[in-house]
């Protein structure tokens, strides 16, 4: 059978794939700190962190975060600045802010147990909601992230435009069908684990795969073509002029109005979207699809408004981002902007 868009997988095939996957997962699973029990809080934090980077890179961040915020209540009662400080290095600070907002709500209501309820909370997308509800509470819902999209597309030979919601839904339904078992947590974790360790983007280790005897991509030599590559998002060019007021060991910060890190505290700035790269700038900073061309200059006014003075020695509590570090480094080396 060639690559196709068939979404109905016969139940006999689903049942065989479930049992092979569960057996493989139980024999091959990695011992990870968040797999010690079915604690929803610990699972949730790990899933949000894992959206940013690999398991190996996440473990030290996770351990440090858990030693400071060991429970939902401890996270809910913390100040946002401190949560951001413990998130430093993972990037995507809006995720840490949402984590904190949701912790405050869950500490009052108790942990929601279904994906539909979790989806209502800040920062809980379809993947995180389903991962937490199935891994912690055994809800029969399948997960679908980049790893699972790859595994399912190859196993069932599906060449889909998976970035379109209608076509993604075909994969979601297959994942849901696979999760209809008492061991649905093992099925979901098995697919994630397979995607991370066996069915990797390049050179998958098919000999170790529980589905190797029935995999369409392997049989039809379609591994390199599946899943279909997502078209690249168009880059946006932004110009940003920061004007740091630095005085007596303090810096004045106001909420940022750029295309990302919105409302994070930064020095006063003017931000503008451009059609092409500016002729002059001090340095470039890239985040996801944004190319930010930064210039640093002397403040236009002596008395800034709309923000707050922050001690430079405690800047990481207000803004732990790498962009802030670059701005300060530049400012420190520039005699023109120091008072
Ligand atoms: S046989 Fe290979 S390509 Fe197919 S699902 Fe397994 S690892 Fe992926």
Which sequence spans correspond to the domains of the chain? 11-225, 236-337
- pLDDT confidence of residue 3: 43
Ligand 1 pocket check for 215: Cβ under 6 Å: yes
Residue with CA at minimum distance from ligand 1 atom 5: 155
Sort 202 into a burial class: Cβ within 10 Å, 0-12 / 13-18 / 19+.
Answer: exposed
- Domain 236-337 architecture: Alpha-Beta Complex (3.90)
226 CB within 6 A, ligand 1: no
Query: Strand pairing of 290-296 and 283-287?
Result: antiparallel
Catalytic-role residue among 47, 139, 186, 268 = 47
CA 233 – CA 299 distance, rounded (Å): 35
Q: What is the pLDDT of residue 331?
A: 83
CATH top-level class for 11-225? mainly alpha
User: Which pLDDT does position 335 carry in this prediction?
Assistant: 54
Query: Does 227 sit behind a cis peptide bond, omega within 30 degrees of 0 on the bond before it?
Result: yes
**254: β partners:** 266
pLDDT of residue 232: 82
Distance 171 CA to ligand 1 centre (A): 16
Find tokens 């610990």 and name the residue. Answer: 42
Judge whether 47 counts as a catalytic residue.
yes
- Report whether 136 contacts 66 (CB < 8 A): no
Q: Rounded to the nearest whole angstrom, what is the distance from the C-alpha of residue 145 to the centroid of ligand 1?
A: 16
Per-residue pLDDT of the chain (339 residues; tens, 9 = 90+): 444 444 589 999 999 999 999 999 999 999 999 999 999 999 999 999 998 788 999 999 999 999 999 999 999 999 999 999 999 888 888 899 999 999 999 999 999 999 999 999 999 999 999 999 999 999 999 999 999 999 999 999 999 999 999 999 999 999 999 999 999 999 999 999 999 999 999 999 999 999 999 999 999 999 999 999 998 888 899 999 999 998 888 999 999 988 888 888 999 999 999 999 999 999 999 888 899 999 999 887 777 788 899 999 989 888 888 899 999 988 887 754 444
User: How high is the pLDDT of residue 4?
Assistant: 47
Put simply, whether the predicted model's pTM sits higher than 0.85 gets the answer no
Ligand 1 in contact with 211 (CB < 6 A)?
Answer: yes
Pure H helices in 35-145: 40-50, 55-68, 72-76, 80-87, 93-109, 115-118, 126-137
* Contact (CB, 8 A) for 71 and 40: no
C-alpha triplet 332, 337, 339: angle, nearest 5°? 95
154 lines ligand 1 (CB under 6 A): yes
């Amino acid at each position: 059978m060639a690559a196709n868009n068939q979404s109905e997988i016969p139940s006999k095939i689903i049942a065989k794939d479930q049992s092979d996957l569960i057996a493989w997962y139980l024999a091959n699973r990695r011992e990870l700190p968040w797999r010690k029990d079915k604690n929803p809080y610990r699972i949730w934090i790990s899933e949000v962190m894992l959206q940013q980077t690999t398991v190996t890179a996440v473990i030290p961040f996770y351990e440090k975060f858990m030693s400071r915020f060991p429970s939902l209540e401890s996270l809910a009662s913390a100040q946002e600045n401190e949560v951001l400080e413990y998130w430093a290095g993972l990037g995507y600070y809006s995720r840490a802010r949402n984590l904190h907002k949701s912790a405050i709500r869950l500490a009052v209501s108790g942990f929601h147990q279904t994906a539909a309820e979790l989806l209502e909370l800040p920062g809980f997308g379809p993947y995180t909601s389903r991962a937490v509800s199935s891994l912690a509470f055994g809800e029969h819902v399948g997960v679908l992230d980049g790893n699972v999209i790859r595994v399912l597309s190859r196993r069932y030979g599906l060449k889909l435009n998976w970035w379109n919601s209608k076509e993604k839904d075909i994969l979601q339904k297959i994942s849901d069908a696979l999760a209809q078992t008492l061991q649905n947590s093992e099925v979901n974790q098995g697919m994630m684990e397979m995607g991370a360790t066996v069915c990797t983007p390049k050179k998958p280790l098919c000999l170790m795969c529980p589905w190797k005897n029935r995999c369409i991509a392997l049989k039809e030599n379609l591994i390199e073509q599946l899943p279909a590559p997502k078209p690249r998002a168009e880059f946006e060019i932004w110009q940003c002029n920061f004007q740091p007021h630095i005085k007596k060991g303090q810096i004045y910060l106001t909420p940022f109005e750029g295309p990302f890190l919105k409302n994070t505290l930064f020095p006063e700035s003017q931000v503008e979207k451009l059609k092409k790269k500016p002729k002059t700038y001090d340095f470039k900073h890239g985040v996801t699809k944004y190319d930010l061309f930064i210039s640093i200059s002397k403040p236009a006014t002596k008395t800034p408004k709309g923000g707050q003075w922050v001690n430079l020695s405690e800047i990481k509590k207000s803004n732990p981002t790498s962009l802030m570090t670059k701005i300060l480094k530049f400012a420190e080396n520039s005699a023109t902007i120091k008072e």
